[in-house]
Every structure is written in structure tokens, then in C-alpha cells.
Amino acid sequence: MDGSPITVAISTRNRARLVERFVVPALPALVEAGVPIVVVDQSDTDETARLLERQPEVRLLRSEPGLARAHNVALGATATPLIAFTDDDVSIDPGWVEGILQEFERQDVGTVCGRVVDKDGRLLPGAANGLYRWPANPIGLGTGANIAFRRAALDDAGPFDEELGVGAPYHSAEETDMLYRVMRAGWAVACSDRVTIVHHEWRTAREEAALHYRYGLGAGAQFGKHLAEGDRTAGRLAIIEAGRHGVTLARAVAKLQPRVARLQPPFLAGLAVGFVRRYRAVRSSSGPERPA
């Protein structure tokens, strides 16, 4: 595709093994389609950089830790009207980019959220096909492993909040915070089953529980920030999200689904901690925190 309208951006940190296993095999199809590729490396060693030096079609960028920071670095170093973000532990279907472009044919779509399946083909939780607008709950609409933005929508929403995301104080929610702000700026979010990637889970059960605590922490911080800035809708959505996970816990217990059940309390605990901590931080700052 000559003069590709979209860039693919991948962030990684200290996971050269995953880059070699998943990112490198995905490159030929993207290169053949003429899609620019940037990798933001936040590693402590040069192992990933040395691996990607053998891939001249990849533009390698460096940044300090923080996934939101990596996204901002990728945005600052590129100029295409669209940018797709994915992770270093996923397999990309050859038609992935084309599916994203089709969803962006609607000029009011600011973000495209694809679906994720596991290595056995099971569809992971996500929103149903359709268009979502503010004040929709951004939690569950999309995942940072499969999300794309129109640059004009990001210009309206502002940069990614670098307090959120892996490597930052609140560990997650950089993508859902951006979804919320994109919708609040008047853009639609398109969720589509046609835009699908495969995620390769590599965490233990204990690590998975810790991950869900961090998911809750980021979600709570996101809602707490916006409420502290005067957005009461965010406070209402925080209550709705807590109730949703409470219902999921009850149903999982009733249906004897131990894995689902054990992930809900960590998320709820993180949600409460993140909400209170970020709300207080914003309210007690010397001046009102500029909405991010």
C-alpha cells in the first residue's frame, strides 16, 4: 500500500525472547503491505535492539519506562493519519491492518478496538460489534494489544496520561483513559470482530491475579482523576464498573468458575485504591491538574 495511511507501533521492555518469537515473524506481512513499523524499546539492555537491528524495515525508538510514554514517543516520531498499537506477545493476522482501515472509513470514528483470542481460539472478553460514544464505559471496550487511533482524535484528546500504563505509578488503563477522552471529545469508538489478534498467555495464576489488581488500580486512577477534575460522569462509571465486577464474582461462584471468581477481588481492590489515591493526588495538587 503506497503511502500507507497507518503506522504500526509496538512497545517492549526487557522481553527480547517474546520479540523474537512474535514480533519478528509478523514483520514480513506488514512490510509487504507497505506499512511503516516502529518499535519503542524501553529495555535495560541492548538485547532487543541488537535483535531488531537485523530488521532494517523497523524503525527502532528508545524511551524511558512507561507504556503511555512509549505511545507518546511513537506518536511524536510518526506522521501518518492513523496509528495502530499492539504488543510484543501477540500474533497478527495478515488482514489485521486492512480490517482496521475499513473501520476507519467512517469519518466520525476516532478509535478502532479489535478483539483478542487466546492461542486455543477462545474469544477473550470484549465489547460487542458496534459504535460507542460518550458517556459509554471505556473499560472493556478495547485492549492495548489491539487498538488504533485517528491522529485527529488524539489531537483533540491530548497526549496519553503518563501516570497510567505498565511502568507507571498506576500500572494500566492508558488505553481506556484515552478511549474515554476520545469519546468525550466527540469521536466514536468502533469495536469490531473483524480486527482480531491472538494473545499468547505466559503468566502463572498468581501473576494473573496480580495483573488484575493492576488493571483495577489503573481503572480506578483513571476515574478518580476525571472526577477530581470535575467530570461527575467518571464517578458514576466507577460505581458501575465496581458493580459489574461484583456481579461477575457472584455469578462465577454460583457457576463454579474458580478462575473467573478469583480474579474479581484483586480487580475491585485495585479499583478502590487507584480511585482514592489519584483523586486525592489531583485534589491536593498545588493547582488543578490539566485534563489529560
Q: Return the pLDDT at 125.
A: 74
pLDDT over 90 for what percent of the chain? Answer: 80
| One domain, residues 138 and 116 | yes
- Its domain, for residue 269, covers 205-284
User: Is 231 within the bounds of a domain?
Assistant: yes
Model confidence at 148, in pLDDT bands (50, 70, 90)? very high
User: Is 292 within the bounds of a domain?
Assistant: no
Residue 244 pLDDT greater than 80, yes or no = yes
Model confidence at 292, in pLDDT bands (50, 70, 90)? very low
| One domain, residues 185 and 89 | yes
User: Is 290 within the bounds of a domain?
Assistant: no
Contact 160, 68 (CB under 8 A): yes
Amino acid at 41: D
Residue 38 pLDDT greater than 80, yes or no = yes
Q: Return the pLDDT at 100.
A: 97
Single residue among 175, 199, 223 that ends a domain in this structure: 199
Tens digits of residue pLDDT in 9-37? 999 999 999 999 999 999 998 998 899 99
Provide the CATH number for the domain around residue 152: 3.90.550.10
pLDDT over 70 for what percent of the chain? Answer: 95
The total domain count for the chain is 2
Single residue among 199, 217, 251 that ends a domain in this structure: 199
Cis check: omega of the bond before 135, within 30 degrees of 0:
yes
Mean pLDDT to the nearest integer, 243-269: 95
**CA nearest neighbour of 152 among 74, 82, 215:** 82
Tens digits of residue pLDDT in 186-211? 999 999 998 999 988 656 677 888 99
Question: Strands 109-118 and 188-199, how do they pair?
Answer: parallel
3-state DSSP of the chain = CCCCCEEEEEEECCCHHHHHHHHHHHHHHHHHCCCCEEEEECCCCCHHHHHHCCCCCEEEEECCCCHHHHHHHHHHCCCCCEEEEECCCEEECCCHHHHHHHHCCCCCEEEEEEEEEECCCCECCCCCCEEECCCCCCCCCCCCCEEEEEHHHHHHHCCCCCCCCCCCCCCCCHHHHHHHHHHHCCCEEEEEEEEEEEECCCCCHHHHHHHHHHHHHHHHHHHHHHHHCCCHHHHHHHHHHHHHHHHHHHHHHHCCCHHHHHHHHHHHHHHHHHHHHHHHHHHHCCCCCCCC
| One domain, residues 216 and 193 | no
Q: Which residues lie closer than 8 Å to 284 by C-beta, 6 or more apart?
A: none
Cell 474458580 belongs to residue: 258
**CA nearest neighbour of 150 among 105, 195, 192, 116:** 105
Q: Which residues lie closer than 8 Å to 153 by C-beta, 6 or more apart?
A: 110, 111, 182, 185, 187
Single residue among 159, 178, 199 that ends a domain in this structure: 199
For residue 192, the cross-strand partners are 114
Q: Return the pLDDT at 119.
A: 82
Model confidence at 93, in pLDDT bands (50, 70, 90)? confident
Contact 105, 37 (CB under 8 A): no
Model confidence at 111, in pLDDT bands (50, 70, 90)? very high
Mean pLDDT to the nearest integer, 65-82: 97
Tens digits of residue pLDDT in 201-243? 656 677 888 999 999 999 999 999 999 999 999 999 999 999 9
Question: Which letter, b or e, does each residue of 157-170 get, where b requires 16 or more Cβ atoms within 10 Å of its Cβ?
Answer: beebbbbbbbbbbb
In whole angstroms, what is the distance from residue 243 CA to residue 249 CA?
Answer: 10
Model confidence at 261, in pLDDT bands (50, 70, 90)? very high
| One domain, residues 235 and 151 | no
Q: Return the pLDDT at 115.
A: 92
Q: Return the pLDDT at 201.
A: 66
Residue 2 pLDDT greater than 80, yes or no = no
- Number of CB atoms found within 10 A of residue 44's CB: 8
Model confidence at 121, in pLDDT bands (50, 70, 90)? confident
| One domain, residues 194 and 104 | yes
